């Protein structure tokens, strides 16, 4: 399961649907370069493990909305600040809604 929130933007997370219908999801990790460990590894390996990523969006404190089943397609990295303001590599996962697959 992966969770997104508009509040993440204050920490440099910019998740959302793109014009091509894909969903860009920012990896986890707030300090230093993001690595392919824990949740990031799970998303990266989800196709290999024949798993879907269930996307939820926080709508208010303690309440989430189910967005859908998402499949990992690709990822790219961008530069951006970490929680301390230091420049680091950020992983952006490119997901598609399973219905469009």
In the chain, domain spans: 2-100
pTM comes to 0.89
φ/ψ of 40, rounded to 5, equals -65, -40
pLDDT of residue 60: 87
- CB count, 10 Å around CB of 5? 16
Instruction: Tell me: pLDDT of 18 over 80.
Output: yes
pLDDT of residue 8: 62
Q: What angle do CA 36, 42, 44 make, to 5 degrees?
A: 60
Pull the structure tokens for residue 9: 């933007």
Pull the structure tokens for residue 54: 């269930």
pLDDT in tens, 36-86: 999 999 999 999 999 989 999 999 888 999 999 999 999 999 999 888 999
Domain 2-100 has CATH 3.40.50.300: no
**Strand extents, DSSP E, the chain:** 2-4, 16-17, 23-26, 53-60, 63-81, 87-97
For residue 44, what is the enclosing H or E element? helix 38-44
């Amino acid at each position: 399961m992966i969770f997104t929130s508009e509040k993440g933007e204050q920490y440099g997370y910019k998740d959302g649907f793109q014009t091509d219908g894909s969903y860009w999801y920012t990896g986890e990790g707030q300090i230093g370069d993001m690595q392919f460990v824990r949740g990031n590894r799970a998303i990266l390996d989800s196709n290999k493990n024949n798993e879907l990523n269930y996307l939820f969006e926080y709508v208010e404190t303690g309440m989430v909305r189910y967005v859908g089943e998402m499949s990992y397609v690709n990822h790219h990295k961008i530069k951006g600040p970490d929680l301390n303001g230091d420049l680091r590599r950020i992983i952006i996962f490119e997901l598609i809604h399973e219905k469009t697959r």
